[in-house]
Amino acid sequence: MSTDAAGGTQLAQLSAFPANGRVTQVRVARSEWRKLWSVRSTRYSLLALIALTIGIAAIAAAVVAARYPQMSPRARANIDPMKVTLAGVQLGQLAIGVLGVLVITAEYSTGMIRASLGAVPKRLPVLWAKAGVFGLVALVVSIPSVVIAFFLAQSLLSSHPQLHLAFGAPGVARAVIGAGLYLTVVGLMSVGIGTILRSTAGAIATFVALMFVIPPLMNILPTSWNDTASPYLPSNAGQAVMSLTHGANTLAPWTGFGVFCAWAAAALAIGAVVLIRRDA
């Protein structure tokens, strides 16, 4: 360590600060890209997302294929091959949701947020960069995962022509790709929730409540209320896009997905407002 010399003269020998050195949105995005990939939780969560989405689809398809010959006609009629194929999305969304929360709350729990906002004191570029970079990564990981899950599950179900879904059949590609889009928006909404709440535990609890706990609880409401409100809950609305069947109490695929995007946009917008207003 050559630490014993006058600081000023040492500094003069360093590579100069660049002449065009200033904060831009693209540079903040590059910084967030590095932040995302330089902590372990990113790889672990994304591996969990891939493993759950593909693994659970494979298990579900294998179980259905093995039991199909013994099933009653009624039970057979109840099997929705698209649901089997996308069974892993239900747990996969937990992995992407937790990672989306951590992208921002880990900065608060470690104090990193002070360095981040110190470098970018206008603050909003940090949130947009986080959402943009993470959304892109979530999309690039989710789409192949659900496509692989689809073809793997379909190959396991291939012994039963009744369960076969052609990728080109009406609605099938939309449902599969839609599942990938759904996972991406789950991640974006979690970034918003994390920004609003700042605490990892609080944000994950809120995410789980919103996506997993509240939807079944709606059944305790009077039926007419439940039927009116339930389709607009984030998970129900968002999953309309990954379903081939639509009843009276579900939204149309892209309408539902639009409602879900509005939830995510609201979470990010509230996050943006509080990020600007609050002390860091």
Partner 1 sequence: MIEAEDLTKRYGAKTAVDSVSFTVKPGVVTGFLGPNGAGKSTTIRLILGLDAPSRGSVTVNGKPYRDHPAPLHEVGALLEARAVHTGRSAYNHLLALAETHGIGKQRVKELIDLVGLREVSRKRVGQFSLGMGQRLGIAAALLGDPQALILDEPVNGLDPEGVHWIRNLLKGLAADGRTVFVSSHLMSEMALTATHLIVIGRGRIIADMPMDQFIRAASKRVVRVRSPEGAQLREALLAPEIEVIDIEPGLLEVSGLTAAQIGTAAAERGIVLHELTPKEASLEEAFMELTREDVEFSARNEQAERDALGASR
Residue 18's SS3 state is: coil
Position among 65, 98, 113, 272 found at the interface with partner 1 (CB under 8 A) = 113
The token pair at 255 is 């309408």
Residue 31 binds to partner 1 (criterion: CB under 8 A): yes
* Min dist. Cβ of residue 186 to partner 1 (A): 23
37 alpha carbon, distance to own chain's centre: 17
Residue 2 binds to partner 1 (criterion: CB under 8 A): yes
* Min dist. Cβ of residue 11 to partner 1 (A): 7
Q: How large is the C-alpha radius of gyration of the chain?
A: 23
* Min dist. Cβ of residue 38 to partner 1 (A): 4
Residue type, 240: A
Would you mind telling me the total number of residues written for the chain in this entry?
Answer: 280
Residue 21's SS3 state is: coil
Taking Cα atoms as reference points, which of 181, 186, 226 lies closest to residue 208? 186
Residue 110 binds to partner 1 (criterion: CB under 8 A): yes
Residue 7 binds to partner 1 (criterion: CB under 8 A): yes
Residue 114 binds to partner 1 (criterion: CB under 8 A): yes
String marking each residue 60-99 x if it binds partner 1 according to CB under 8 A: ----------------------------------------
Position among 59, 117, 147, 152 found at the interface with partner 1 (CB under 8 A) = 117
Q: Where are the alpha helices (DSSP H) in 157-208?
A: 172-197, 200-208
The DSSP code sequence of 243-278 is -S---TTS--HHHHHHHHHHHHHHHHHHHHHHHHHS
Interactions with partner 1, residue window 121-150 (CB under 8 A): 121-122
Nearer Cβ to partner 1 (105/206): 105
Nearer Cβ to partner 1 (24/249): 24
Residues 6+ apart with CB under 8 A from 64: 79, 84, 157, 163
* Min dist. Cβ of residue 93 to partner 1 (A): 24
The token pair at 161 is 């022509």
**Site residues (vs partner 1, CB under 8 A):** 1-12, 14-18, 20-24, 27-28, 30-32, 34-35, 38-41, 106-107, 110-122, 279-280
